């Protein structure tokens, strides 16, 4: 009986410790839960060294499937493809989702530029490291700009190009760039409203931990944003020279990169297809995967 009571007290203490830990560092526990769910669903989590930088990546789908390489955006990570990737997996494609240098579980070197061009060099190096001779390449937001650079510099290695609410055009910025590194709850709320027409506001203790995360990683985002704002990596002259099939997917209510930019890309790339997703904002591949996923698979199979 005494042993049973001791076990009960031990379980209570563990539960209290976990509860306190979750309250103090909720993102750690939420991330660990995400990683467990990835493992349970068969998503592979691996690392590879590219040009001396360790890059983490996720992979799913049959090993012999046509490779699809998905590049996330500014301040994002591989896990943000979690809603879209299963559509490609189920259709028989092998999906690779790297964390770009500076993001997710990849290395954050202090001497890296974090520019679109240099991230594109790393993506090409990632393909070399994994022996991917040719891929269908998708990019979201800043990742879309990176994907355009890879497709332009290595046209023989990109079979198809998919751009999701993609950066790239030399267009004026229509939002407060400081919101990408929010310093308080009000700025975080404004940032969430920029990203989605239907933002979900987390509880206060999670908001506090999110803000701490942004403070730790602000220097990477700020360095990348500073480079983007120079417009030196704009793709206006590259897009008309693209020869591969191109699918452009855009949230109709995107307040970061307006849908007019997707329409411009569609006009200058004659062989492109444009799919505007109603009711969605900048996070269309994540929040509207039920609409975006089947469209992407259909494009892949064309």
Tens-digit pLDDT string for the chain (302 aa)? 555 555 544 444 445 445 656 566 788 888 999 999 999 999 999 999 999 999 999 999 999 999 999 999 999 999 999 999 999 999 999 999 999 999 999 999 999 999 999 999 999 999 999 999 999 999 999 999 999 999 999 999 999 999 999 999 999 998 899 999 999 999 999 999 999 998 988 899 999 999 999 999 999 999 999 999 999 999 999 999 999 999 999 999 999 999 999 999 999 999 999 999 999 999 999 999 999 999 999 999 99
Indicate if 75 and 129 belong to the same structural domain: yes
pTM reported for the whole predicted model: 0.94
Please give the pLDDT value at position 107: 98
Indicate if 17 and 82 belong to the same structural domain: no
Indicate if 108 and 216 belong to the same structural domain: yes
Please give the pLDDT value at position 27: 86
Indicate if 284 and 234 belong to the same structural domain: yes
Per the structure, the complete domain to which residue 26 belongs is given by: 1-40
Long-range residue pairs from 195-198, CB within 8 A, at least 24 positions apart, any chain: 195/256, 195/281, 195/282, 195/283, 196/281, 196/282, 196/283, 196/287, 197/253, 197/279, 197/280, 197/281, 198/287
Please give the pLDDT value at position 101: 98
pLDDT digits (tens, 9 = 90+) for 133-176: 999 999 999 999 999 999 999 999 999 999 999 999 999 998 89
Residue 248: closest CA among 283, 284, 273, 271: 273
Indicate if 90 and 16 belong to the same structural domain: no
Indicate if 4 and 116 belong to the same structural domain: no
Please give the pLDDT value at position 296: 98
Could you tell me which residues are beta bridge partners of residue 85? none
Indicate if 103 and 223 belong to the same structural domain: yes
Indicate if 82 and 137 belong to the same structural domain: yes
Indicate if 91 and 226 belong to the same structural domain: yes
Indicate if 280 and 184 belong to the same structural domain: yes
Indicate if 4 and 112 belong to the same structural domain: no
Please give the pLDDT value at position 248: 98
Indicate if 26 and 149 belong to the same structural domain: no
Query: How many domains does the structure of the chain reveal?
Result: 2
Please give the pLDDT value at position 142: 98
Q: How far apart are CA 118 and CA 24, in angstroms?
A: 36
């Amino acid at each position: 009986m005494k042993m049973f009571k001791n076990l009960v007290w031990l379980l209570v203490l563990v539960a209290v410790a976990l509860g306190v830990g979750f309250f103090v560092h909720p993102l750690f526990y939420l991330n660990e839960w995400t990683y467990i769910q990835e493992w349970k669903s068969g998503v592979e989590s691996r690392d590879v060294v590219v040009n001396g930088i360790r890059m983490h990546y996720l992979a799913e789908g049959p090993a012999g499937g046509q490779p699809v390489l998905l590049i996330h955006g500014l301040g994002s990570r591989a896990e943000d493809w979690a809603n879209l990737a299963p559509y490609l997996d189920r259709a028989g494609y092998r999906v690779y989702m790297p964390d770009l240098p500076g993001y997710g579980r990849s290395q954050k070197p202090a001497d890296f530029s974090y520019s679109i061009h240099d991230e594109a060099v790393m993506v090409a190096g990632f393909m070399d490291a994994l022996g991917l001779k040719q891929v269908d390449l998708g990019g979201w937001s800043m990742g879309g700009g990176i994907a355009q650079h890879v497709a332009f510099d290595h046209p023989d290695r990109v079979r198809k190009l998919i751009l999701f609410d993609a950066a790239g055009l030399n267009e004026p910025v229509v939002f407060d760039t400081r919101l990408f590194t929010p310093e308080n709850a009000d700025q975080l709320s404004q940032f969430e409203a920029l990203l989605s027409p239907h933002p979900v506001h987390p509880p206060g203790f999670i908001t506090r931990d999110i803000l701490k995360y942004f403070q730790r990683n602000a220097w990477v985002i700020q360095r990348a944003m500073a480079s983007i704002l120079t417009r030196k990596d704009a793709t206006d002259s590259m897009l008309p020279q693209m020869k591969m099939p191109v699918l452009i997917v855009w949230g109709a209510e995107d307040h970061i990169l307006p849908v007019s930019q997707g329409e411009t890309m569609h006009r200058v790339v004659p062989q492109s297809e444009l799919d505007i997703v109603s009711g969605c904002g900048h996070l269309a591949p994540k929040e509207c995967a039920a609409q975006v996923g089947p469209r992407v698979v259909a494009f892949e199979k064309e």
